[in-house]
Structure 1
């Protein structure tokens, strides 16, 4: 058992954390390009933020406030904890159940390190939310929502047998991060490239977490079959 746990940790390091370092480097590189040699992008995106600012209405202010909260840290963590508990109860597979937690943890680590490294200022518009103590690039709300719900979608595609329910869950998991993305742009929290890179960060982290699970599931299955074969032989 200890050997299996060591292999789980080693594979997590090589298949998720290691690649995550590369993802962080790519994101930081993009951020430095946007705030440096490609600063013209920054100026063009200011006009996009201004357009969202001019389009605000009381109705959409209220709607986007709800959508934005879907990506709040406390909501992401609470949703992850509840769904993980349900998955563990239903499947008794701790690796399968841990995928969302690994995805959002990896995403959050990359986001925090990248945003403090790049330090991009937020759009020059009137924000509708208090700015968190991080810079604009990349979007943490969008990255967290994408990582969480993309991991849910991957797990749903694998385990939900009823076609209509599987499609419904996947559609919901695709929609929610997009709503968060629109809300963060509308409410003046981010530039367009901030949310695009946030989506990419979330998708990659979900994929890395799920890839770790699939590899460990195959390895554990092969190990179990080998032990049975040896015992029978």
Structure 2
């Protein structure tokens, strides 16, 4: 049962959007998915309230209780856990990384954002956890920008995920309605991006590829 930590020291990187959609993709694929919201702003929890607590379930958890709550969820049958963390919070990020099987670091492909991930990269390297940078909120049609950004983060010792989550209007419209892009526009490019990222994530944590793809390819 994989546990994925979404961390970034910079605000506005798209952590919550990534966490919600990755868990939703797991739920769509037939898994029991949970999101642990460690951010005091509780954006993920607000999204859950907007959708009247339809799955995936969002659970509030202060960092000191995170490990115990994740273990409890595992014991109760959770099959895919995503941890959403706040920006500028070393304790929350560290707690999430310590119990994660995989760390994803969302980052916009811009100079300021790329510079800001150095601290995050050092943390995952210190704790010896597999981690990848996921480029978010960039242009859908800028392969050279993603290539250059990928080269830069590789130089920090944290490789780039081959799947990008570009800025698409579907994310904004879906979030405003308490929905996912898979619900809002099932055949759209944003939904395809998320499904691709989920399938890739499953492979990284050695989950069953067949299970992960069951509904992705449906």
Q: TM-score, length-normalised on structure 2?
A: 0.24
Q: Which has the higher helix share?
A: 1
* Structure exhibiting the larger radius of gyration computed from Cα positions: 1
Using the size of structure 1 for normalisation, the TM-score is 0.23
Larger RCO (CA under 8 A, 6+ residues apart): 1
- As a proportion of its length, which structure holds more strand? 2
